[in-house]
Amino acid sequence: MEAVLTRHLDAHAPLSLQAYQAAGGYHSLDAAFDHKPEEIIAIVEAANLRGRGGAGFSCGLKWRLRGADAPRPRYLVCNIDESEPGTFKDRHLLYGGPHQIIEAVIVSAYALQAEQVVIFVRGEYGKGGHGLKRAIEEAEKAGLVGSNIKGSGFNLQIKVHLSGGRYICGEETAMLNAIEGRRPNPRHKIPRPSVKGLWQHPTTINNVETLVNVPHILLNGADWFRALGINGGCGPKLFCVSGMVQHPGLFELPCGTPARELIFEHAGGLAAGRTLQGFIPGGASTAFLLPEHLDVPMDFDPVAKAGSRLGTAAIIVLDDTTCPVQATLNLMRFFARESCGFCTPCRDGLPYLAQILTAIADGEGRAEDLILMEELCNTIGPQSFCAFAPGAVMPLTSSLQCFRDHYESHIATGRCPFDAANKSGA
C-alpha cells in the first residue's frame, strides 16, 4: 500500500505551509467547501472510518449523532494525548507534519460546523505542540484559519492545549475538564459530551489519526478508502510494533494486516533463536494474545473476537525470555500510578493488584492469590467510573489465562524462572 497518512511526514524538517501546499496539502478545503457539511458526514460514514483513539466507534456516525441542529457554540477536540504504553503513532503525525493535522481539523470542523477547535497535546510532546502552534500561526496568516476561510463564510479558531501530562487526560471527558482548567477526572457520561461538553456546549472528540483520514476520504471518496484495507478492514492504519523485535517502529499498512506480517516482516521478527510467547495487540490496556492469534487481521472486530481489542494498534511483543508476570506487573504499576483517583475500585484496587503481583514476582506469592486477583478484577473492571479501569485489568485477566503456568511456578518455587534463565544465559 502506498503511504497515505505518513507520506509527507518528516520529524526533522516538517513541511512548511508552502511546501505542504505544493505537495497537494490543503486542497481538501476547496473540496469541503463545495460540499454541504452533512454531505461530508455522510461520506465519512460511508467510508466506515472507525475511531483510531482506541474504541473504534464510527467517526461519521458520531458526527451525525451530534445533530446538525446542536446549539452553538460547538467544539471539536482533537486528541493527541497519546499516553498509552507502546503507542507512538500520533507523535509521528504531530512531529512529522503539523499542517496535515490542521487541514484535517479544518475540514472536520467544517463538517461539524464547529467554530472552535482545541487540539489537546500530550505534555511530553511539548516541542511537537509548539511546532503545531507555529504551523497554526502560518495557516492563520495565509487565511486558512480564522474568519471567512477562503471566502466560504466558515469561521474557525484553533487552540492548542498542552497537557499537564497524565494518562487519564486522554479520556475524553477528563480531557474536557483539563481544558476547562479543572481536575482531569472523567465526567459522568449522561449527558454525553456531544450534548454538554466543553463549558457545557456540544463537543465532538476525535483522535488525531482518525481526523487526518478525513481530507483523504473527501478527496478520494469513500470507496477508495474502504478498498485500502484488507481482510475486511477499511483504510490505512498506523501500527506501532515494539518489545522483543528486531526493528521496532511505526508502519502504515492496510487496516486488517495480520499481526504475523507486522511482527515478522515489518518489524524484523524476533532475535535469533527466540520464540514468540505472546503479544499485546493494541497498547497496554488490551488483552494478551498468543502465537495462535498471529493470523488474526489487525482490525477492530477480528481482534475483539479473539478476546482482545485493536485499541491503538500498538503491538508489544514478548519473546521466550520475557517473564509474563514481570511484564504484567510492569503494566499494572503503570495503571496504578496513572489512576486519576476518582473512584474507589480503580484508585485502591489497582495498587492492591500491583502489590499481589509484586509479591508473586518476588517469590512471595500465595496459592490463593490468583483467585483473589481474579475476584478483584471482576469488580474493578465493570464497577469503576470510566473506561480506564476495564482497560487496566485487561492485561492481567488475560495474562492470568494465557500464562497461568508461569504464575503457578512463581508461587510454587518462590522465584522467577526467567530471572535465573536470563542470568545464567548472560
Partner 1 sequence: MGTMHIDGHEIPFQENDNILKAALAANIEIPYFCYHAALGSLGACRLCAVEIAPEDPNKKPRVVMSCLEPAKDGINVSVSAAAARQVRQTVIEFLMVNHPHDCPVCDEGGECRLQDMTVACGPPYRRYRGRKRTFTNQYLGPLVHHEMNRCITCYRCTRFYQDYALGDDLGAMRLRNEVYFGRFQEGPLTSPFAGNVIEVCPTGVFTDAVFRQHFARVWDLETAPSICPHCSVGCNTLPGARDGTLRRVCNRFHPEINRWFICDRGRYGHQYSEHPDRPLTAQVSGVKVSYREALAAAAEQIKAARDRTGGLGSTREDLESNAILQTLLNKLSGRFATFSDPQLETATTAAVAALQSSGGAPSLSEIEQADAALVVGDLTTHAPMMDLALRQAYRTGAKLAILHSGPSLLTRFAATTLTVAPHEIGAHLLHLNEQAATASTTSNKHENEKKLADIATYLTTAQRPILIGVSETMAAPEITALAQLANALGSRARLAYALPGANAYGTALLTPTNSTTAMLEAIESGQIQTLIVMGNDPLGDTRLGARWREARQCLSTFIVSDCVATATAEAADILLPVAAWTERGGTFVNYEGRAQGFAPVFQRAEPLPNTAEVLADLAHCLELALPDAAAVLSNIFPGYQAPLPGTLGSSLSAFPLTMQTETPIGSAPLGHPGHWQVTLASWYGDDVLASYAPALVELAPPAAALIHPTAALKERIEDKEQVRLRGPAGTVVLSVQLNNDVAADTIALARVTLAQLGVGHGDLLELERIS
Ligand X SMILES: Cc1cc2nc3c(=O)[nH]c(=O)nc-3n(C[C@H](O)[C@H](O)[C@H](O)COP(=O)(O)O)c2cc1C
Given the rule CB under 6 A, which residues bind ligand SF4? 168, 186, 339-343, 346-347, 384-386, 388-389
SS3 of 94, please?
helix
Q: Cα–Cα distance between 115 and 106 in angstroms, integer? A: 10
The grid coordinates listed for 93 are 503525525
Q: Which is nearer to ligand SF4, 324 or 390 (CB)?
A: 390
Question: If we measure between CA atoms, which residue out of 186, 168, 264, 210 comes closest to residue 51?
Answer: 210
Q: End-to-end alpha-carbon separation of the chain, Å?
A: 41
Nearest-5° Cα angle at 94, 193 to 156: 50
Q: Which of partner 1, ligand X, ligand SF4, none lies near 376, with the C-beta cut-off 5 to 8 A by kind?
A: partner 1
Q: Pattern of binders to partner 1 over 337-356, x per CB under 8 A?
A: xxxxxxxxx-xxx-xx--xx
Determine how β-strand 203-207 pairs with β-strand 314-319: unpaired
Site for partner 1 in 368-407 (CB under 8 A): 372, 375-376, 379, 382-385
Q: How far is the CB of 366 from partner 1 (least distance, A)?
A: 9
Asked whether position 197 contacts ligand X by CB under 6 A, the answer is no
Q: Which of ligand SF4, ligand X, partner 1, none lies near 336, with the C-beta cut-off 5 to 8 A by kind?
A: partner 1
Q: Cα–Cα distance between 35 and 298 in angstroms, integer? A: 33
SS3 of 351, please?
helix
Q: How far is the CB of 115 from partner 1 (least distance, A)?
A: 24
The window from 163-171, 232-240, 248-256, 406-414 that contacts ligand X (CB under 6 A) reads 163-171
CA distances from 218 to 31, 83, 274, 377 (A): 7, 29, 45, 44
Q: Which is nearer to ligand X, 204 or 322 (CB)?
A: 204
Query: 233-237: long-range contacts at Cβ-Cβ below 8 A with a sequence spacing of 24 or more?
Result: 233/257, 233/297, 233/298, 233/299, 234/47, 234/48, 234/49, 234/50, 235/47, 235/48, 235/49, 236/1, 236/3, 236/4, 236/5, 237/52, 237/298, 237/313
- Cell 458526527 maps to which residue? 63
Q: What are phi and psi of 209, to 5 degrees?
A: -65, -35
Q: Which of ligand X, partner 1, ligand SF4, none lies near 57, with the C-beta cut-off 5 to 8 A by kind?
A: ligand X
Q: Which is nearer to partner 1, 131 or 381 (CB)?
A: 381
Q: Which of ligand X, partner 1, ligand SF4, none lies near 337, with the C-beta cut-off 5 to 8 A by kind?
A: partner 1
Q: Which is nearer to partner 1, 260 or 333 (CB)?
A: 333
Q: How far is the CB of 258 from partner 1 (least distance, A)?
A: 34
Nearest-5° Cα angle at 27, 56 to 236: 30
Asked whether position 172 contacts ligand X by CB under 6 A, the answer is yes
CA atoms within a 13 Å half-sphere pointing along the CA-CB vector of 35: 23
Q: At what angle do helices 404-413 and 324-338 cross, to 10 degrees?
A: 100
Reported residue count of the chain is 426
For residue 58, count CB atoms less than 10 angstroms from its CB and return exposed for 0-12, middle for 13-18, buried for 19 or more: middle
Q: Which of ligand X, partner 1, ligand SF4, none lies near 379, with the C-beta cut-off 5 to 8 A by kind?
A: partner 1
Asked whether position 210 contacts ligand X by CB under 6 A, the answer is yes
Q: Which is nearer to partner 1, 7 or 333 (CB)?
A: 333
Taking each continuous run of H as one helix and of E as one strand, the counts in the chain are 18, 8
The window from 68-76, 167-175, 345-353, 357-365 that contacts ligand X (CB under 6 A) reads 167-175
Question: If we measure between CA atoms, which residue out of 192, 197, 205, 118 comes closest to residue 162?
Answer: 118
Q: Cα–Cα distance between 424 and 220 in angstroms, integer? A: 57
Q: Which of partner 1, ligand SF4, ligand X, none lies near 207, with the C-beta cut-off 5 to 8 A by kind?
A: ligand X
Q: Which of partner 1, ligand SF4, ligand X, none lies near 389, with the C-beta cut-off 5 to 8 A by kind?
A: ligand SF4
Site for partner 1 in 15-54 (CB under 8 A): none
Site for ligand X in 50-89 (CB under 6 A): 51-55, 57, 59, 79, 81-84
Q: How far is the CB of 357 from partner 1 (least distance, A)?
A: 11
Q: Which is nearer to ligand X, 116 or 207 (CB)?
A: 207
Site for partner 1 in 158-177 (CB under 8 A): 166, 168
Q: Which of ligand SF4, ligand X, partner 1, none lies near 383, with the C-beta cut-off 5 to 8 A by kind?
A: partner 1
Q: Which is nearer to ligand X, 50 or 406 (CB)?
A: 50
Contact footprint for partner 1 (CB under 8 A): 166, 168, 183, 188, 190, 336-345, 347-349, 351-352, 355-356, 358-359, 372, 375-376, 379, 382-385
Contact footprint for ligand X (CB under 6 A): 51-55, 57, 59, 79, 81-84, 168, 170-172, 205-207, 210, 386-388
